[in-house]
Amino acid sequence: MPRAFLDDNFLLHSKTAERLYHEVAAVQPIIDYHTHLPPQEVAENQRWGNLTALWLGEDHYKWRAMRANGIPESHITGGASPRDKFQAWAETVPNTIGNPLYHWTHLELRRCFGIETLLGPDTAEEIWNTANDRLAEESFCAQGLLDQFKVDTVGTTDDPSDSLVFHEACAALDLESRIYPTYRPDKAAMVDRPEIFNAFCDQLGEVTSIEITDLAPLLEALKKRHDDFHAIGCRLSDHGMKQCPPEPCSEKAAIAIFHNARSGLDASASEVGSFSAFLMQHLARWNTERGWAMQLHLAPVRNPNSRSFAQLGPDSGFDTIGDWTQGESLLRFLDLLDRVKALPKTILYNLNPRDNALFAAACGSFQEGPTPAKIQWGSAWWYNDTLRGMTDQIQTLASIGLLPRFVGMLTDSRSFLSYPRHEYFRRLLCNLIATDVENGEIPDDANLLDSLIRGICYDNAKAYFTFPHHDT
């Protein structure tokens, strides 16, 4: 007989896997070190009036699926009622079989709301009413949801020009879940888009009280915000780019590029690259001095659909996988930082799955003590965040690097209902390790296995990032 869908031993195919998950992995807290959750919603303990607002409002994964299912934009990001948008999602869900959305959807309904009914057009009304009734409960405010899932740490994603007022408010509340910013200075290098660069410089100048009329004040302001972020608990920076930048330009050339951008002139592709490398040297050195980790998210194609971008703006579900070559530029960049002793703890994320072995191997070329796995190959990112993608990532890392030193899973999500993704990852991890045990490829040693699973699920991230509340 087939197993029941999403039963207690979902994805667990042996007694060893069941023990590792239920006794070890499932009880570990969550360090969600890379998310896009709004800190304001945590600080203000956001409540949501209906399931659409909580579940569909910022989820571009669902939006992509709905478009592929023929749903009109009015029922995705447009003016249709929340109930009609939910109905459109319910009509889409049966067609997501094979996509992680099918598992995520039903895991979230079960774990968050206790709803075991499959979501589809005929069950939408029942699920809508049941879930909306529960949203009035205290456990369904923002802080309550974090508590439900034993979230120890949340790392938000923040521009240096952003206010930290909501992170300060979260800190003052002394929450069980600690909310820390992550320093994301991508706009500081957008000298090919002067409208964005200049707006960023103006806003950064306001928040730091530094008039950014030259390159030196820009660096001063970026460093001031780096200090401010550190003071509130930040321990990571994040950088998204097509490829790692080339050799940096000279300071003189960087000054010229800065002034051209401030004057509204577009920089060339080579100028963007060399200016970005110039900035990254400084940012990486500050990270090294502070003990931060640097995250590099490589190869996304942003906004390829120009008509939809003009209509809906960025982060609307149209971004995709880039096919730029990564190896030479990545190694050159890591070496550049290493040569000047400015290579911090670094986490590499590849969006194109063809680069899996390349990224795993690149880490090994720049490892050094005393930090175990100082250079990390990050968890399966975005389009790779699937059963197949996570399996490939874990097995490739185990083959080329040190799997027991892996800092583990993150949500990379804008939704407070996404934490069952950690469960999904942990079940898959336990099953992969258990399969090797059952095949006689890993010893059936409980101490060895339990330590490995605890490390990947929690302990490694705790030791690697050194968030302030873990120092006490």
What is the helix, strand, coil percentage profile of the chain, to 5? 55, 10, 35
> Distances from the Cα of 348 to the Cαs of 111, 234, 302, 336, 400, in angstroms?
31, 19, 19, 16, 15
- For residues 37-48, average pLDDT: 97
SS3 string of 199-260? HHHHHHHHHHCCCCCCHHHHHHHHHHHHHHHHHCCCCEEEEEECCCCCCCCCHHHHHHHHHH
Beta strands 375-377 and 345-350: pairing type? Answer: parallel
Instruction: For residues 395 and 85, give the distance between their C-alpha atoms in angstroms, rounded to a whole number.
Output: 39
- For residues 54-71, average pLDDT: 96
**What residues form DSSP beta bridges with 376?**
347
Tokens of 77: 């990001």
Q: The domain 143-470: what is its CATH number?
A: 3.20.20.140
> Distances from the Cα of 462 to the Cαs of 61, 153, 174, 337, 369, in angstroms?
29, 9, 19, 25, 17
For 98: left if phi > 0, alpha if psi spans -120 to 50, otherwise beta; the answer is left
Residue that has been written with the tokens 């009015």 in this structure = 74
Q: Which pLDDT tens digit goes with each residue over 169-197? A: 999 998 999 999 999 999 999 999 999 99
Give yes or no for residue 295 having a pLDDT over 70. yes
Instruction: For residues 306 and 4, give the distance between their C-alpha atoms in angstroms, rounded to a whole number.
Output: 44
- For residues 298-314, average pLDDT: 94
Residue that has been written with the tokens 């942990």 in this structure = 426
Sorting pLDDT into bands at 50, 70 and 90, what band is 472? low
pLDDT at 211: 97
User: Cβ contacts of residue 470 below 8 Å, gap of 6+?
Assistant: 462
Tokens of 371: 């930090």
Instruction: For residues 402 and 361, give the distance between their C-alpha atoms in angstroms, rounded to a whole number.
Output: 11
- 458 CB burial (10 A radius; 0-12, 13-18, 19+): buried
Residue spans of the domains in the chain: they are: 48-139, 143-470
Q: The domain 48-139: what is its CATH number?
A: 1.10.2020.10
pLDDT at 174: 85
Instruction: For residues 225 and 214, give the distance between their C-alpha atoms in angstroms, rounded to a whole number.
Output: 17
- For residues 351-356, average pLDDT: 98
Q: Which pLDDT tens digit goes with each residue over 204-230? A: 999 999 999 999 999 999 999 999 999
- Dihedral angle computed from the Cα positions of residues 48, 52, 58 and 61, in that order, rounded to the nearest 10 degrees: 140
CB 233 within 8 A of CB 167: yes
- For residues 21-32, average pLDDT: 98
Sorting pLDDT into bands at 50, 70 and 90, what band is 1? confident
Of residues 372, 373, 360, 363, the one with CA closest to residue 400: 360
Tokens of 364: 């090994």
Residue that has been written with the tokens 């950064």 in this structure = 204
Whole-number mean pLDDT of the chain? 97
Instruction: For residues 380 and 408, give the distance between their C-alpha atoms in angstroms, rounded to a whole number.
Output: 10
Give yes or no for residue 51 having a pLDDT over 90. yes
Q: Which pLDDT tens digit goes with each residue over 417-444? A: 999 999 999 999 999 999 999 999 999 9
> Distances from the Cα of 262 to the Cαs of 41, 195, 390, in angstroms?
34, 9, 43
DSSP 176: S
Give yes or no for residue 401 having a pLDDT over 70. yes
Coil vs helix vs strand at 122 = coil
Instruction: For residues 5 and 105, give the distance between their C-alpha atoms in angstroms, rounded to a whole number.
Output: 13
Instruction: For residues 453 and 457, give the distance between their C-alpha atoms in angstroms, rounded to a whole number.
Output: 6
Which long-range contacts (C-beta less than 8 Å, at least 24 apart) are formed by 107-110?
A: 107/6, 107/420, 107/423, 107/424, 108/55, 108/417, 108/418, 108/420, 110/6
Ordered DSSP codes for 263-323? TTPPPPHHHHHHHHHHHHHHHHHHHHHHT-EEEEEE-EEP---HHHHHHH-SSSS--EE--
- Is the entire prediction scored with pTM above 0.85? yes
